[in-house]
Amino acid sequence: MVSLLRTSLAPVGKAIAAQHFSTAAVLSNDSYRFVVAGGGAGGLAIASSLARKYGDGNVAVIEPSDVHYYQPMWTLVGGGEKTLQDSAKEMSKLMPKNATWIKEKVEQFDPAQNLVYTSDNRKVNYDYLVVAMGLQVNFNKIEGLPEALEDPASGVASNFSPKYVNKTFELIKNFQGGNAIFTMPTLPIKCPGAPQKIMYLAEDYFRNKSGVRDKTTVMYNSALAVLFGVKKYANSLWKVVERKGIQVNLHTNLVEVMSKEKKAMFTITNPADNTTTNKIFDYDMIHVSPPMGPLACLKDSPVSDANGWVDVNKTTLQHMRFPNVFAIGDCSNVPTSKTAAAVAGQSGVLLKSLESVMKGEIPAEKYDGYTSCPLITGYGTTILAEFDFNAAPLETFPIDQGKERTSMYYLKRDIMPELYWSGLLRGVWRGPGIVRKALHAGLKN
């Protein structure tokens, strides 16, 4: 069905290419050959590549933020290994020099007219659109959570916002024992391993730094049915939680925080019959990973599916109905974990798909679903999970990456940030596929 749809769209794509490129590339200040909606990892990666190739006046990036954050670092900020400032750079220093920065919010998409409407009532016309807008973190979906995060005495923190991530380490440092709860919501979220990573760092801190582990109960309350979605790494993580004495409660979803009483309510689902019951847990510290979803401008948008995610072919990243529209990263409905590593893997495919459509051809390059989650299991140890659409390991190194390794911890802490800032955002790092092939001597992983 997908291939038939792509075939049926190909003549439309060819007509669009012919129509647009018989005119000047830039018709006015608000008309561009390429418009990238979003200045996150995917948006900057694609914009940098396009601006470098096509030059001034051809590429516009719509992004309201003054600061760009390397969000995968926030686990280490919450664990005291990095500072929030380490994760931040001024957007003005990252924006491609040859691109036009439209410092506004996207309000609406009109793909039938090749238009994006912004918060300043600007209409931006494009020949080709790349949607790279990330997702929305919904703290307000949990009753009492926004107020608890603002209250210094609540014992509640979250690594999923620059506003609250420093509070996580303050709670870990000052924790004197009791119940330390770490939550995982239903999918999708940014990096599904992140809720566990901060838990393992906290447990390590309680055990080896503050000395309060013997009077602490560490709990992982997850709405999911599994500890991790890839069996190989899940098996390794079960060994980690058993060794560390962590209590794991699956099918257990946070619905309310009662911070004045230091209590949290969870809905527990019985997998046998899908019935639910509510249970209240006492906590002394709770790290909340909130539910997440699509941005408001993508809900009920003509570029989105029924759930509000940009509706693209999962292998080519081309839109299913509008052939001159593409999407990358967290905002799309591509069925893989939402990580910076996935963005890197998608970026090269998207650019090749875009070039094919510009030539009136059907995109042939295929994204394999590659994503990665460096699962920090303590200060100095990491399991480097890498996998594809089928939740099959797709590992870069010719070693067993299901084992905890010090080398992978320093790869995560020190090398990956440089790859991100100097490689991915500049459009020159497109994932480890070439490295994987070289390290495995050209053999299938």
pLDDT tens digits along 209-221: 999 999 999 999 9
Mean pLDDT value of segment 325-341 = 97
Distance CA 63, CA 104 (A): 6
Per residue in 45-99, pLDDT (tens digit) is 999 999 999 999 999 999 999 999 999 999 999 999 999 999 999 999 999 999 9
Q: Quick one: 303 and 275 in the same domain?
A: no
Q: Show the tokens assigned to 227.
A: 């500890």
Question: Between the CA of residue 260 and those of 157, 301, 314, what are the distances in Å?
Answer: 14, 40, 45
Q: Quick one: 49 and 161 in the same domain?
A: no
Q: In the predicted model, is pLDDT for residue 8 greater than 90?
A: no
Q: Quick one: 214 and 74 in the same domain?
A: no
pTM of the predicted structure, to 2 decimals: 0.90
Q: At 52, is the secondary structure helix, strand, or coil?
A: helix
Domain that holds residue 412: 371-439
Per residue in 185-237, pLDDT (tens digit) is 999 999 999 999 999 999 999 999 999 999 999 999 999 999 999 999 999 99
Contact yes or no for 73/194 (Cβ under 8 A): no
In a domain, 86, yes or no: yes
Distance CA 254, CA 280 (A): 10
Q: Quick one: 156 and 111 in the same domain?
A: no
Q: Quick one: 299 and 337 in the same domain?
A: yes
pLDDT for res 443 = 56
Q: In the predicted model, is pLDDT for residue 3 greater than 60?
A: no
Indicate the pLDDT class of residue 441, thresholds 50, 70 and 90: confident
Q: Which of 291, 312, 341 is the last residue of a domain?
A: 291
Q: At 332, is the secondary structure helix, strand, or coil?
A: strand
> How many residues make up the chain in this entry?
445
Q: Which are the catalytic amino acids?
A: 191, 373
Domain count, the chain: 3
The CATH code of the domain that includes 214 is 3.50.50.60
pLDDT for res 23 = 28
In a domain, 287, yes or no: yes
Q: Quick one: 112 and 234 in the same domain?
A: no
pLDDT for res 437 = 87
